[in-house]
Amino acid sequence: MAMLRWEPFREMENALRRFSPLYMPDDGTTRNETAARTWIPLANISESENEYLIKVELPDVKKEDVKIAVADGVITISGERKEERKENGATRTERSTGKFRRSITIPTRVDANKVNATYKNGILTVTLPKAEEAKPKQIQINLN
Say if CB 86 and CB 28 are below 8 A apart: no
Residues whose CB falls within 8 Å of the CB of residue 53, separated by 6 or more in sequence, listed in order: 45, 46, 47, 125, 126, 127, 128
Domains for the chain: give ranges and CATH numbers.
8-38 (no CATH), 41-83+96-134 (2.60.40.790)
Measured in whole angstroms, the distance separating CA 142 from the mean position of its chain's CA atoms is 46
Distance CA 39, CA 15 (A): 15
Distance CA 77, CA 118 (A): 13
Q: How far apart are the first and last CA of the chain?
A: 64
Q: Using one digit for the tens of pLDDT, what is the confidence trace for 74-118? A: 999 999 998 777 677 666 777 788 899 999 999 888 998 999 999
Q: What is the DSSP letter of 49?
A: S
The model's pTM is: 0.65
Residues whose CB falls within 8 Å of the CB of residue 83, separated by 6 or more in sequence, listed in order: 93, 97, 98
pLDDT, residue 1, reads: 52
Question: Is the model more confident about 36 or about 44?
Answer: 44
pLDDT band at 72 (very low <50, low <70, confident <90, very high): confident
* Res. 10: pLDDT tops 80: no
Give the count of beta carbons closer than 10 Å to the beta carbon of residue 116. Answer: 10
